[in-house]
Amino acid sequence: MNDRWKRLLRHAPAVLGVALLVGAIYVVQHEFRTLKIEDIRKALDAIPQRALILSAIWTFAAYGILTFYDRLGTIYAGKVVSYGKVAFASFCAYTLSHNLGFAAVSGAAVRYRLYAHWGLTAAQIGKVIAFCSLTYGLGGMMLGGIILAIEPSAVPFIGEKVPHWAMYGLAAALIAVDLAYISLAKVLGSFKVFGHEVELPNVGMALAQVLIAAADVAVTAAIFYALLPDAPGLTYFKFLGVYLASYSAGLVATIPGGLGVFDGVMLLGLAPYLDAPVIVGAIVVFRLYYYIIPLFIAGGLFTGNEVLLRSRALLVAKNGGVAIEPRRGPRFSEPDFAVAAGTGAVALCGFMLLSLGVLEARPDFSWVDPDFADVVTQAGQFVPSLIGAALMVLAVAMSQRVNLAWGSTIVLLLLAAAFAVAQSEPLWIPAVLVVAAVLIAPYRRAFYRHAHLLSGPLQGASALPLFALVVCVLALAAFERHVRFLSDNSWWSVILSPDVPNSLRVSVALTVGVALLAMWRLLRPRRVTWAPWVAAQQLRYASLGVTPPQHADGIVWGEADRAGIPFRRLSRTLLALGDPAGADSDRISAIWRLRDLAQQEGRNPAIWMAGRSLLKVYADLGLTALPLDAAGLPMQSASADAEAERFLVCRAERDLAGLLPALAELHDLPAPAEPV
């Protein structure tokens, strides 16, 4: 029972994210059904130039304040870094995490790459990341507590339905957390939480954390507020409550950029004060200023930095010097950035296609062949909305580097673009879809994981979902003719429409749900099994040309059973004993299967005595490479990466402290040899 509950809890964030997204779509559909693109365009034109300039100024100020998160974090970690470098790392990391979600992974990878090159150890970088994450939480709680204490009804939906005394109690609790943190920083130097030592900053730095984070939230909200016209009853303070609730909901959902969730809560919270087109117009400009433009700037800066580093190394080598490569933390290079950005773009396209029915009236098809026009007209938004739902599932699979997801995504994006052109949608819609396809097309080699469907011969575990998917697609094609009369016949509108028989609504809901579930089961990597470390497995591993370790708990084989990686279970870590050995074509899949097995068991993956050749792959898992000396223990010198040939790869900020005592035992074991 305990294991079952643990598995359920591991899926809780994903379930919550889907629930919030569904709720956001419902809000948009129910509250703003008459919203049209023309209305939004007029609202955008009505934003005065002064408001646009002021909003841009607040955007610069917001990203400027974010740099102090990292500035304080490096001081807390005990390594002083110049403000220019800190500002560069902060801007790149926060821009990426704002747009793509999964901030703990995306932002951390950028910080590890940059700070490692500037001389910080993995443990110090882990401290910077933890400090920055905690800082936002402290500021959000302090500001949220103050808002609830002054305006308990400012929170959308619940503010007017929950008694004020309950909101005051929540306000007191939020503020008390911050006060307790500051008090502990003054009284204690450190304390233990769940067996982990937490080192506190001094009281001055703790107070600065709270103030800077509160200022960050307030200034970011001002970007949006500056774009809104004067509205009776909507003070900045009330708006701040709506913004904080919207942004927090987007963070909880872990959806790239809080897409849909942030927008839905914002629409719901501002509905009593402003018309829907005005709110949506402000959302569009806010996302442009705070998300999209900074993403392109940060992407260009980060790519330029990578090119510059490599050029310097080559120049030193040509001049007869020793070219020392940048430190080998997770290598978050140009392809990684493009893949991450492409995955976020696919999710955006999926949500856009899901939402088209809300924003668009029926187009005019008089310019095309009458028979074709009839087919396209009748299809309406049913087909685009189904493609949008499929793209949301594919975006998740792409984030796990599944190769079938890459190809399927390009096909669906181009199909959706062709459909949008045929339906006379505004040209920017097919343009966005084509750009997303072009963005991910060159990076086929970056998607190296095999989908469950392609992992081996077709068996029951794959055949059943494939059969279910085909049946669901045929059923949806049959349902389409029963919903043509709806002005917006997207599948989720059909489910919510009172004009459709309940039996059809339930059938569409079940069919779409089963289709998406079947699609995911075909795309996801299959469930990982492992083999005990018995004599037969040791001989099989030795036949790959490596020396098997004497002590291991088991071994994971790649999807083609041509590469293996032995491991040990150490507390909360699944520790691989060396790089996978075997065929190069199967070594990467063995690494990913080790990671999946760790997730199945509620552990974190780690690799001891890893070589340089696969550090890039470990970086894709969000792991950090720590250089090891001849005894298998982490080196401490700043130039260690250039000297080391072996590494400990792990989530340093979480697991390094727990792994260090075990290394004393591990270093007595023979180091796994390189594959022959």
Between 110-119, 190-199, 483-492, 611-620, the lowest mean confidence (pLDDT) is in: 190-199
pLDDT band at 623 (very low <50, low <70, confident <90, very high): confident
Give the residue range(s) of CATH 3.40.630 domains in the chain.
531-666
Residue 361: is its pLDDT beyond 50? no
79 or 644, which is more confident? 79
Task: Tell me if residue 328 falls in helix, strand or coil.
Answer: coil
φ, ψ (nearest 5 deg) of residue 498: -75, -10
Amino acid letter for position 664? A
65 or 195, which is more confident? 65
- Residue 590 and residue 580 in contact, taking contact as beta carbons nearer than 8 Å: yes
C-alpha to C-alpha distance for 13 and 254, rounded to whole angstroms: 8
Give pLDDT, residue 324. Answer: 40
Give pLDDT, residue 351. Answer: 80
Give pLDDT, residue 25. Answer: 54
φ, ψ (nearest 5 deg) of residue 133: -65, -45
Mean pLDDT confidence for 655-664: 74
Give pLDDT, residue 62. Answer: 92
The percent of residues above 90 in pLDDT, for the chain, comes to 9
- Residue 386 and residue 415 in contact, taking contact as beta carbons nearer than 8 Å: no
Give pLDDT, residue 612. Answer: 80
pLDDT band at 664 (very low <50, low <70, confident <90, very high): low
pLDDT band at 189 (very low <50, low <70, confident <90, very high): low
Between 73-77, 309-313, 342-346, 636-640, the lowest mean confidence (pLDDT) is in: 636-640
Tokens of 635: 């080196």
Between 72-81, 386-395, 642-651, the lowest mean confidence (pLDDT) is in: 642-651
C-alpha to C-alpha distance for 211 and 219, rounded to whole angstroms: 12
Residue 291: is its pLDDT beyond 60? yes
**CATH, range 531-666:** 3.40.630
Mean pLDDT of the chain: 76
Give pLDDT, residue 517. Answer: 86
Residue 448: is its pLDDT beyond 50? yes
Give pLDDT, residue 37. Answer: 59
Task: Tell me if residue 414 falls in helix, strand or coil.
Answer: helix
- Residue 656 and residue 122 in contact, taking contact as beta carbons nearer than 8 Å: yes
pLDDT band at 369 (very low <50, low <70, confident <90, very high): very low
Residue 588: is its pLDDT beyond 50? yes
Give pLDDT, residue 464. Answer: 82
Give pLDDT, residue 532. Answer: 93
481 or 115, which is more confident? 115
pLDDT band at 342 (very low <50, low <70, confident <90, very high): confident
C-alpha to C-alpha distance for 543 and 566, rounded to whole angstroms: 14
In this structure, are strands 581-582 and 604-610 parallel, antiparallel, or unpaired? unpaired
In this structure, are strands 554-557 and 190-193 parallel, antiparallel, or unpaired? unpaired
Q: How far from each other are the two terminal CA atoms of the chain, in whole angstroms? A: 45
The percent of residues above 70 in pLDDT, for the chain, comes to 72
C-alpha to C-alpha distance for 575 and 666, rounded to whole angstroms: 11
653 or 613, which is more confident? 613
Long-range contacts from 664-668, C-beta under 8 angstroms, 24+ separation? 664/633, 666/575, 666/577, 666/608, 666/632, 667/631, 667/632, 667/633
pLDDT tens-digit profile of 238-271?
888 888 888 877 776 666 666 667 877 888 888 8
pLDDT band at 59 (very low <50, low <70, confident <90, very high): very high
C-alpha to C-alpha distance for 292 and 476, rounded to whole angstroms: 35
Give pLDDT, residue 225. Answer: 92
Mean pLDDT confidence for 613-623: 76
Give pLDDT, residue 414. Answer: 92
Residue 452: is its pLDDT beyond 60? yes
Secondary structure letter of residue 292 according to DSSP:
I
Kindly report the number of other CB atoms within 10 A of residue 399's CB atom: 20
Contacts of 623 (CB under 8 A, 6+ apart): 330, 605, 606, 607, 649, 650, 651
Mean pLDDT confidence for 590-595: 87
Tokens of 499: 């004009």
Contacts of 209 (CB under 8 A, 6+ apart): 72, 131, 134, 135, 138, 139, 201
Mean pLDDT confidence for 551-566: 88
pLDDT band at 580 (very low <50, low <70, confident <90, very high): very high
- Residue 381 and residue 357 in contact, taking contact as beta carbons nearer than 8 Å: yes
Residue 444: is its pLDDT beyond 90? no
148 or 309, which is more confident? 148
pLDDT band at 307 (very low <50, low <70, confident <90, very high): low
- Residue 333 and residue 307 in contact, taking contact as beta carbons nearer than 8 Å: no
